[in-house]
Structure 1
């Protein structure tokens, strides 16, 4: 029985293969389906029953055993064990693709018309291998036919590649064993890298010749053209997507483009799944989501700037929700921490779920800033003021969040050391905005928030504003007033010292001058003494005011 396979293209660009048969041994028969039973009508009595779960096929031995080595062995093993005219059922529960695919196998064995498509070629190819349908049993057998069509699809149709991968989801072990996933991934990577702008010659062809490649810079329009393949790839299942990413890495694709493809896939995936906590999520679903997140963290390119800070923060947030591996989470935190010095406030904006208390997740930012202080700031020469401005800007942005807790705000405000800020003006501005946006917080909570800033680190303008700010807690206001008085006392003391030095100099000048100028110098000394006495009187008044404020504060407590 001589079969040939012919390829053709539909109007939508997909490829269809038609298996034709030159023999008419059983080709005149018809395969009828009655519920979960398939009966081959050829005019000859059925002598073979194949059972797949609760599906059964009433067939004939000759066309089946002449093409399938596996069925041939099962029939021989059952020989002599027949209970009636018909043989005992042969169980094929493990055939890849199930009853739907086995129906195609039957049609092939009987020489009936068989349409090969991108949706059925992978299960049929795996079933042919499972059933041992090689040319050792019949010329141009099913393995050869499906291999030819599969290769044709790999190199012809971009759209059908993803249809093949989709059909592999139910037969993953066989698809991986027979390298269908690997072949599809390689084909996708080749097509994605075909655009020379997406190809990094410094890690591929140039490396073969020992040449140091020079990376080119591309405009935003050119970069967007490199992303033409993101949409289809973002629809793949996680294990298939990982195969594609590995293939792209082997092909030498630029790390930043790989990072962007991972971000696109993650965004699409998060829009399709529901992130549930441990108490409400089904155990299997929860574990699959956690494995997905951990896999994404592992495959991220290690090169700097291969992934944006905002994407990594979102990935960290989901990893924490999924209770991912602690080592992976810490590795991701450190990676983000090293990026903080070059970040802006929008990079830190990680949105919470719809049912969350706040719009943005402040806790994940606190973790990263604390990691920065413990890892980057201690071990590397950082741009600390840049991170200080970043954190204060972020605090000012989220300060108006109605449900932002005092604890979260305070934790982030105090996450950086004191010398991370050139001055505390921006921090004071964020604190002022938070207190005004949350009028119902207690006096003690206001005091806790204000502890993060230092009065002496405020500019003159900020100090004047703070002294008039009735939103600040009373204790803090009292402290600010006392500090201002201390400053005035120090200023007065310094002035008095200056006057004393001036008087001493005048006396020395008098002793060495002529007697004519002696009376004039005495008059100057008396005037300076009066000014010093007046200054001392002012200082005593300030000290009395301070005592009164202390008395009032004790009474308030």
Structure 2
């Protein structure tokens, strides 16, 4: 065959090839159509490709196929390049299948089950350099299916044992003695493949994980691989590369069963991602996963510093989002234990952030009232946090203090705490009254053999889910106290003394309330006469 070089081909600016136009065009439908449309002389033509898949290496392989009368050696190391080049050049116009490069590569793919593990990894690595074009070919999907199938089979048996044949089980693993010993010393038998997949970029790892999920490979093993991949890839990665890795890991973890993902590991991912400016979608997924496992978190996990530019100490908004995600799953009888764990955790967290003088009352109240009343058997822990907050924020108005106290359920305070509250000048007077009344009605129930007596409360709080603060009694002008005789044993003398002290305290508070009511009545009368209309005033005391 007479060969001439009448066609100049610039491949992606990498390299220029001088080829025989007639030979190349006889196999390429793309060039045949291009030359068919050209007018005038067809000699000394130049073609420029800007997006040739695989670049100069791929074009050279394709050219050798053409110059060798439609024959070439196809192997796992070049099958991706040849297949994508053949599709790009439309090399399916040959009448004979033996001269059709696309059909030859597809036929070679039928032997993929006989490839070694190393050959399969080489083919996958080649594919990732051909994205996204390789997505439209069969090569990538068949490689992914083969990889997931081998891992699924290996998870059921002993992976890569040194005594087995490399050709056993219908496929071949490349396992020499040195690599086998290395795996035994560095990784457990179930995770021997973790290090091998580090050659893949985040895009291909995502595809691999999806194929593994379809194959029903253990989600716990997949999650362990993803955490291993993230840590390993971070050693020598740029910030942008780290961001892509962390987003891929989060998105894939989100597709797994929640029980297979460690809460501790998720907080590790969270701390790493805070400096990487990850996408909002990935951040929401991560917070949702953490929130669903909030009962497994520790206090140190929640003490995340506030974002840059915020003047408060800890990221309270982040914890509120965790709580929202936790409650999104619904509160049922089966999750009562989880709910109590989260409540205990939140009491510790609120006590930790309460001393922050820059924490706004609205944020503190949002934390304190985020969980329903059923989450706490006792409000003693929350009381101590409120006490601390009021001490640090001494400049709050009486109304602001009353709003903070709305977080407390006085019926679930212990007698000791109620006595402390009654003598606590940081709390508004009305809160002290409510606590004393609640404890007196509890005592009344105990003395009469029942605990269904409900104390009277006149709460300034708005109706909030989970709070049982009592109803306003518009007709009552003074606090009703239980003044029955205490028939207690000598062992309860201390309790009796406390109760007597509480009654004295209430009597003093009643006097203050009556004075305030008188003053309010005068103010209202004055405003009615001056303005000609009434304006509602807050009821400070009943």
Relative to the length of structure 2, the TM-score reads 0.59
**Counterpart check, 1:392 vs 2:392:** no
Q: 1:304 to 1:488 in 2, by over 3 A?
A: closer
Per-residue Cα deviation, 1:64-94 (whole angstroms, up to 9, x for no partner): 356x3336625862687316xx332245445
- Residue 145 of structure 2 is aligned with which of 186, 191, 210? 186
**Counterpart check, 1:96 vs 2:53:** yes
- Residue 458 of structure 1 is aligned with which of 413, 417, 421? 413
Indicate if the aligned counterparts of 1:293 and 1:315 stay in contact, CA closer than 8 A. no
Moved more, 172-181 or 445-454: 445-454
**Root-mean-square deviation (CA), in Å?**
5.6
Counterpart of 1:306? 260
CA distance in 1, matches of 2:298, 2:335: 22
Indicate if the aligned counterparts of 1:153 and 1:160 stay in contact, CA closer than 8 A. no
CA offset at residue 143 of structure 1? 5.5
Counterpart of 1:60? 20
Per-residue Cα deviation, 1:10-43 (whole angstroms, up to 9, x for no partner): xxxxxxxxxxxxxxx89xxxxxxxxxxxxxxxxx
Alignment length, in residue pairs? Answer: 432
CA distance in 2, matches of 1:409, 1:119: 61
Indicate if the aligned counterparts of 2:247 and 2:278 stay in contact, CA closer than 8 A. no
Q: 1:72 to 1:495 in 2, by over 3 A?
A: closer
Counterpart of 1:16? none
**Counterpart check, 1:415 vs 2:370:** yes
Q: 1:312 to 1:131 in 2, by over 3 A?
A: same
Indicate if the aligned counterparts of 1:259 and 1:307 stay in contact, CA closer than 8 A. yes
**Counterpart check, 1:424 vs 2:383:** no
CA distance in 2, matches of 1:408, 1:72: 68
Per-residue Cα deviation, 1:401-429 (whole angstroms, up to 9, x for no partner): 78655443321210112232101122234
CA distance in 2, matches of 1:174, 1:497: 89
Counterpart of 1:322? 279
Indicate if the aligned counterparts of 2:323 and 2:370 stay in contact, CA closer than 8 A. yes
Output aligned runs, 1:41-60, within 5 Å: 46-52=5-11, 54=13, 56-60=16-20
Counterpart of 2:396? 443
CA offset at residue 375 of structure 1? 5.4
**Highest Rg: 1 or 2?**
1
CA distance in 2, matches of 1:347, 1:261: 26
Counterpart of 2:471? none
Counterpart of 1:279? none
Bigger share in strand: 1
Counterpart of 2:204? 240
| 3-state DSSP of counterpart to 2:8 | strand
Counterpart of 2:330? 376
Indicate if the aligned counterparts of 1:168 and 1:175 stay in contact, CA closer than 8 A. yes
Counterpart of 1:41? none
Counterpart of 2:162? none
Q: 1:260 to 1:428 in 2, by over 3 A?
A: farther
Q: 1:223 to 1:415 in 2, by over 3 A?
A: farther
Per-residue Cα deviation, 1:470-528 (whole angstroms, up to 9, x for no partner): xxxx45164455457657988797675468xxxxxxxxxxxxxxxxxxxxxxxxxxxxx
Indicate if the aligned counterparts of 2:419 and 2:502 stay in contact, CA closer than 8 A. no
CA distance in 1, matches of 2:290, 2:440: 47
- Residue 44 of structure 2 is aligned with which of 87, 90, 95? 87
Per-residue Cα deviation, 1:367-395 (whole angstroms, up to 9, x for no partner): 34345556512797744434422332443
Per-residue Cα deviation, 1:183-228 (whole angstroms, up to 9, x for no partner): 22223323433433589xxxxxxxxxxxxxxxxxxxxx99964334
CA distance in 2, matches of 1:541, 1:350: 39
CA distance in 2, matches of 1:423, 1:429: 12
Indicate if the aligned counterparts of 1:447 and 1:475 stay in contact, CA closer than 8 A. no
CA offset at residue 232 of structure 1? 5.0
Per-residue Cα deviation, 1:71-123 (whole angstroms, up to 9, x for no partner): 6625862687316xx33224544532233432343455557xx9999776523
- Residue 227 of structure 1 is aligned with which of 188, 191, 215? 191
- Residue 171 of structure 1 is aligned with which of 106, 130, 134? 130
Q: Structure 1: which 5+ runs fail to align?
A: 1-24, 27-43, 200-220, 276-284, 500-534
| 3-state DSSP of counterpart to 1:171 | coil
CA distance in 2, matches of 1:49, 1:344: 65
CA distance in 2, matches of 1:538, 1:185: 75
Counterpart of 1:69? 28
Indicate if the aligned counterparts of 2:80 and 2:126 stay in contact, CA closer than 8 A. yes
Counterpart of 1:124? 82
Counterpart of 1:543? 507
CA offset at residue 463 of structure 1? 3.8
CA distance in 2, matches of 1:536, 1:292: 65
Q: 1:252 to 1:378 in 2, by over 3 A?
A: closer
Counterpart of 2:533? none
Counterpart of 1:254? 218
Per-residue Cα deviation, 1:457-477 (whole angstroms, up to 9, x for no partner): 2223434555676xxxx4516
Q: 1:480 to 1:51 in 2, by over 3 A?
A: closer
| 3-state DSSP of counterpart to 1:443 | coil
**Counterpart check, 1:345 vs 2:309:** no
CA distance in 2, matches of 1:164, 1:377: 49
Per-residue Cα deviation, 1:303-341 (whole angstroms, up to 9, x for no partner): 45133446678999989973439xx969984x766655x
CA distance in 2, matches of 1:245, 1:537: 68
Moved more, 97-106 or 135-144: 135-144
CA distance in 2, matches of 1:425, 1:296: 41
| 3-state DSSP of counterpart to 1:57 | strand
Indicate if the aligned counterparts of 1:181 and 1:243 stay in contact, CA closer than 8 A. no
